[in-house]
Amino acid sequence: MRLLIVEDSIELVDMLRRQLGQVGFALDHAGSVQDGLLMLEVGHYAALILDIGLPDGSGLELARAMRARGDDTPMLLLTAHGSVADRVAGLGAGGDDYLVKPFAPEELIARIRALLRRSAMIVDRDVVCGNIRYDPVSRTVTVGGTPTILSARELDMLALLIQRHDRVVAKTQIEMQLFGLEEELGSNAVEVYIHRLRRRLSEAGATAQVVTIRGVGYMLLESPA
């Protein structure tokens, strides 16, 4: 699952990239308001981590611009100031949550997960294809009613495919959604995770399968009876 952080502290970004990577998140980075706006225009992110104090202006400017153009990406604001007035201003600009520096990485991860759960509850509860059921709130999968354990990246891959089942998901879209821009990818990285997901679903007795559309991408289809 791909996140964007807009923050000018490289040390903080590097630390969060390591911490978030360990729990299955890919992190892209912008260091200014303008770079953040550009990256949000060309990429789709599960959530945004936004520092308020940036070199070329306030992160609140970015937040207001996002919301004004209809971008409802879940947003966690970071700031060195924690007064009531600061929190009200941040939430009023479109932020969904607020975290005061310094903070523990574990708290940031917990808050991001909470934002994603709330966002999923607004969109949908369960998504079904064949006998595969995905709950985007709890991020759990059952096959034929039996819980199925997937790795973080396998789960992200399944979530992407099942929420668009019966439609082709381009390989480039999978790369953008599941891997960070700065993450070095092998030429067959997507194929490796697709193979692993297929094996997991087959072993669990799934009645839907991941189909390759050559030269385009992949789609999840219910297997014919």
Confidence bin at 127 (pLDDT 50/70/90): confident
How far apart, in whole angstroms, are the C-alpha atoms of residue 106 and residue 171? 32
Query: What residues pair up with 213 in beta bridges, in sequence order?
Result: 217
Q: Residue 168: what are its φ and ψ, rounded to 5°?
A: -80, 135
Q: What does CATH list as the number for 124-222?
A: 1.10.10.10
Does domain 2-122 match CATH 3.40.50.1000?
no
What pTM was computed for the model?
A: 0.69
Residues of the chain with CATH 1.10.10.10: 124-222
Cα distance between residue 138 and residue 167, in whole Å: 24
Q: What is the pLDDT of residue 36?
A: 93
> Looking at the predicted structure, is the pLDDT value of residue 122 above 60?
no
Of 96, 110, 84, 94, residue with least CA distance to 58: 94
Report CA-CA distances (Å) from 188 to 151, 175, 193.
18, 11, 9
- pLDDT band for position 84 (cuts 50, 70, 90): confident
| Confidence at 112, pLDDT banded by 50, 70, 90 | very high
Residues of the chain with CATH 3.40.50.2300: 2-122
Report pLDDT digits (tens) over 22-80. 888 889 999 999 999 999 887 788 899 999 999 999 999 999 999 998 888 899 999 88
For residue 159, pLDDT beyond 60: yes
Mean pLDDT rounded to a whole number for the chain: 88
